[in-house]
Structure 1
Amino acid sequence: MKPLKFVGNSLNDLKFFPKPAQKEAGHQLNKVQEGKDPSDWKLMKTIGTGVREIRIQIRDQYRIIYTASFTDAVYVLHAFLKKTQKTTKRDLDSAAQRLKAVQKTRGENDGNY
């Protein structure tokens, strides 16, 4: 099972989800750690290769952007409440910057996992 590594303030953001959404997020992230797909997800190619978004709906829409493409861990890049139909540029940029930070610390480029 891969460990989880939270990038930036993604863990703190996840802690602001209501308890039922936190519980579901934990369940879905555990599936990812075990090498399985989350129940509801989509690719986020605009952020980077291998980046996915977990979609959680409990009263509101919650999102967790992550990558499991690295062999050592599942990196949680961003967690947020989605308030509009389209994911905001701010949320996409935040996840993309965090992915680049992970790649930089690992000395790798996008796609070289």
Structure 2
Amino acid sequence: MKKLRFIGSSLDDLKNFPLEARREAGFELDTVQRGNMPSDFKPLLTVGSGVYEIRIHALGEWRIIYVAKFDDAVYVLHAFQKKTQKTQHEDIELAKRRYKQLRTSDE
């Protein structure tokens, strides 16, 4: 099972989810750590290669952007509440910066 690593404020952001959403997030992240895909996800190629978004529908809409393609860990790049139909540009850009930071430290 891969370790779970949080980049930037993603752990604190996830802790701010309501309890029901946090529980679902934990279940989905455990699934990813075990090498499987979450129950509701989509690829986010605009962020980077191998990046996915977990969709959580509990007391609102919540998202976790992660990458699991590296051998050592599953990296959570961003966790946030989605308030509009389209993911906010700021959320995508933050995930891109954190992915780039991760890739730079990986090389």
TM-score, with normalisation over the residues of structure 2?
0.99
Residue 59 of structure 1, CA deviation? 2.1
Q: CA deviation at 1:42?
A: 0.2
- In the other structure, the counterpart of 1:27 is 27
| Separation (CA, whole Å) in 2 of partners of 1:3 and 1:59 | 28
Deviation per CA, 1:29-77, whole angstroms, max 9, x where unpaired? 0000000110000000000010000000012000000000111000000
Identity of aligned residues (%): 53
Q: Which amino acid aligns with 1:9?
A: S
Matched, 1:94 2:94: yes
Runs of 4+ in 1 over 3 A off after TM superposition: none
Aligned length: 107
Aligned to 1:56: 56
Partner amino acid, structure 2, of 1:72: D
Give the alignment's TM-score, normalised by structure 1.
Answer: 0.94
Q: What are the residue-to-residue correspondences of 1:1-113 with 2, within 5 Å?
A: 1-107=1-107
Q: Which whole-Å CA distance do the structure 2 matches of 1:23 and 1:74 have between them?
A: 18
| Structure 1 residue matching 2:26: 3-state secondary structure | helix
- Give, in whole Å, the separation in 2 of the partners of 1:32 and 1:76: 11
Q: What is the RMSD computed on CA atoms of the aligned residues?
A: 0.4
Task: State the SS of the aligned residue for 2:53.
Answer: strand
